[in-house]
Amino acid sequence: MALSGTAQADYPEQDIRLIIPYGPGGATDIIFRLISQEAEQHLGESIVPVNMAGAGATLGSRNVKDARPDGYTLLGSHDTIALSKLAGTVDYSFDAFEPIALLTQTINIPAAHANHPVQSAAEIADYVRENPGQVRFSMIPSSTDHFFWAQFFDAAGIDMADVRLVGYPDTGEQVSALMAEEIDFAMFNLPSGGAFFEDGTFRPLGVAHPERLDSLPDVATLREQGIEMDHSTSRGIFAPKGTPQEVQDTIAEAYGKALEDEQVRSRIENEFGSVIRFLAGDDYQAFLDDNEAALTAAAENIDFQN
């Protein structure tokens, strides 16, 4: 149901609920809370974060999808929206929402344990060819790193029949497995692996971003190593389908202004190893279309039953 012109002009007139489809304390929760606290200063009403974990992050997304499109229920999420559909968990993707704005990207990084002979991402393909069927890559089934490795294998010319994908329930288990050298490679990012990169426990093999990261200046990008691939966890704001354009624009403008705050920017970049990338409207829609196309291509090489 569309809002009247007067209601749109007066938006917002009450608190806005921001559904975060994960539990409290993780990077997604903290980043959205941080930016929203600043964004509400530009809206004149409170943005109230609501953690709604469950069903592989689809409990929260479904709640927003089915909410009234009045701008008072929003979703703070990321690539998992498309991943859930591709994995067969739900029957909807990005197109079930109005894309408000992309806010941040957390860059993903393939890594090995410190004693591993592979020194860079460019060497992984040769290592697999020399040890077919023996090289172990960790992943959380149907999650970001599952798709990361599928895309990486394709870009690096690695046959998935020659590798062993080992599933773990969460990132903590993957960290323990790599420490114990039970696996050869894992995908981390600075929030999950930065401390281990710094103390030398793990070796970052490449950065899946067009530019090197300031905190890892000596680690080459995958593209520098001849692997044409970028990969990140891209967090943004979504609204129910049918939310009036004027309301969408008001929300996007507030979040855009929030990202101009120096303290917010510093925390996102330094504490959470992420980069600020603000895209709104048609630009964000084009980004999502490209992102989903890449994920769909990767999904062709994934057996979600195993």
- pLDDT digits over 91-101, tens only? 999 999 999 99
95 and 132 share one domain: no
285 and 259 share one domain: yes
Q: Is a pLDDT exceeding 60 seen at residue 5?
A: no
272 and 205 share one domain: no
Which of 181, 198, 225 is a domain's end point? Answer: 225
User: Does 262 map to a domain?
Assistant: yes
219 and 125 share one domain: yes
How far apart CA 52 and CA 255 sit, in angstroms, is 21
Q: Tell me the longest C-alpha to C-alpha distance in the chain.
A: 68
> In the predicted model, what is the mean pLDDT of residues 220-242?
96
User: Does 11 map to a domain?
Assistant: no
> In the predicted model, what is the mean pLDDT of residues 122-140?
96
24 and 89 share one domain: yes
pLDDT of residue 3: 46
What is the number of domains present in the chain?
2
pLDDT of residue 140: 85
pLDDT of residue 288: 97
pLDDT of residue 8: 63
User: Does 138 map to a domain?
Assistant: yes
pLDDT of residue 54: 87
Residue partners of 199: CB distance under 8 A and separation at least 6:
none
Return the C-alpha torsion angle 290, 93, 28, 280, nearest 10. 50
165 and 190 share one domain: yes
How far apart CA 101 and CA 188 sit, in angstroms, is 25
Q: Is a pLDDT exceeding 90 seen at residue 23?
A: no
User: Does 5 map to a domain?
Assistant: no
95 and 188 share one domain: no
- What's the gap between Cα 249 and its chain centre? 23
Q: Is a pLDDT exceeding 80 seen at residue 284?
A: yes
Q: What is the pLDDT of residues 248-279, one digit of tens each?
A: 999 999 999 999 999 999 999 888 889 999 99
User: Does 1 map to a domain?
Assistant: no
Residue 4, φ and ψ in degrees, nearest 5:
-70, 160
User: Does 7 map to a domain?
Assistant: no
Domain range for 286: 16-105+232-300
Q: What is the CATH number of the domain that holds 199?
A: 3.40.190.10
Return the C-alpha torsion angle 122, 297, 146, 193, nearest 10. 50
287 and 143 share one domain: no
Which of 180, 198, 225 is a domain's end point? Answer: 225
Mean pLDDT, the chain, whole residue set: 93
82 and 123 share one domain: no
Nearest to 227 by CA among 154, 286, 147: 154
CA distances from 274 to 149, 183, 215 (A): 20, 26, 10
Q: Are 93 and 178 in contact (CB under 8 A)?
A: no
101 and 236 share one domain: yes
Alpha helices for 131-166 (secondary structure H): 144-156
pLDDT of residue 306: 45
How far apart CA 304 and CA 128 sit, in angstroms, is 23
131 and 217 share one domain: yes
User: Does 182 map to a domain?
Assistant: yes
Q: Are 155 and 229 in contact (CB under 8 A)?
A: yes
Q: What is the CATH number of the domain that holds 83?
A: 3.40.190.150
User: Does 8 map to a domain?
Assistant: no
217 and 246 share one domain: no
How far apart CA 52 and CA 73 sit, in angstroms, is 13
Which of 189, 205, 225 is a domain's end point? Answer: 225
pTM: 0.84
pLDDT of residue 305: 60
141: left (phi over 0), alpha (psi -120 to 50) or beta: beta
Q: Is a pLDDT exceeding 70 seen at residue 6?
A: no
Nearest to 137 by CA among 302, 299, 272, 305: 302
The percentage of the chain sitting over the pLDDT mark of 70, rounded to a whole number, equals 96
> In the predicted model, what is the mean pLDDT of residues 129-139?
96
